[in-house]
Amino acid sequence: MKLSSKNFLIPSAICLVAGLATPSTADSLNGDERGSILLELNGIQDVLDGKQLSLRTSAGQTFQAASASNDAAYEFYLKCHKILNFDPKGASYTEFRNWRDRQEDKVKTESNLSAMRVQLQYLVLSMKAAESAELDTIIPELEQFVGNIVANSESLNMRKMQEPVTKTIFAQAYDLDKSLTMENWSYSPGNCSEVYERTIFPFFRATATQELAAAWDRRIALESGLFSRTHEGNVEALEKFQREGLPTLYWRKSMDLYVSVSQKQGAAALIQIVRANPEHPDIRNWVESFAKLLKDTTVSASEEYPKTTKQNPPPVDPNNPLGFE
Q: Is the pLDDT of residue 2 over 50?
A: no
Give the pLDDT confidence score for residue 42 in this predicted structure.
66
Residue 219 half-sphere exposure toward CB, CA atoms < 13 A: 23
pLDDT at residue 165 in the model: 96
What is the rounded CA–CA span in Å between residue 79 and residue 68?
16
Q: What digits encode the pLDDT tens for the residues 121-138?
A: 999 999 999 888 788 889
* Cα–Cα distance for residue pair 85/91, rounded to 1 Å: 9
> So what's the pLDDT on residue 303?
42
157, 115 in Cβ contact below 8 A?
A: yes
Task: Express each pLDDT in 45-78 by its tens digit.
Answer: 544 444 444 555 678 889 999 999 999 999 999 9
Verdict on whether the full-model pTM lies above 0.75: no
Which comes out higher in pLDDT, residue 90 or 207?
A: 90
- Percent of the chain at pLDDT exceeding 90: 62
Domain boundaries, the chain: 57-191
pLDDT for 302 equals 39
Query: What pLDDT does residue 227 have?
Result: 93
pLDDT tens by residue, 3-57: 344 443 334 333 333 444 455 556 787 777 777 767 666 665 544 444 444 555 6
φ, ψ of residue 320 in degrees (nearest 5): -150, 65
Compute and round to an integer the Cα radius of gyration of the chain: 29
| Whole-number Å distance between alpha carbons of 162 and 118 | 12
Residue 183 makes CB contacts below 8 A (sequence gap 6+) with 198
Angle between helices 283-304 and 246-260 in degrees, nearest 10: 0
In which region does residue 316 sit, left (phi positive, over 0), alpha (psi from -120 to 50) or beta (all else)? beta
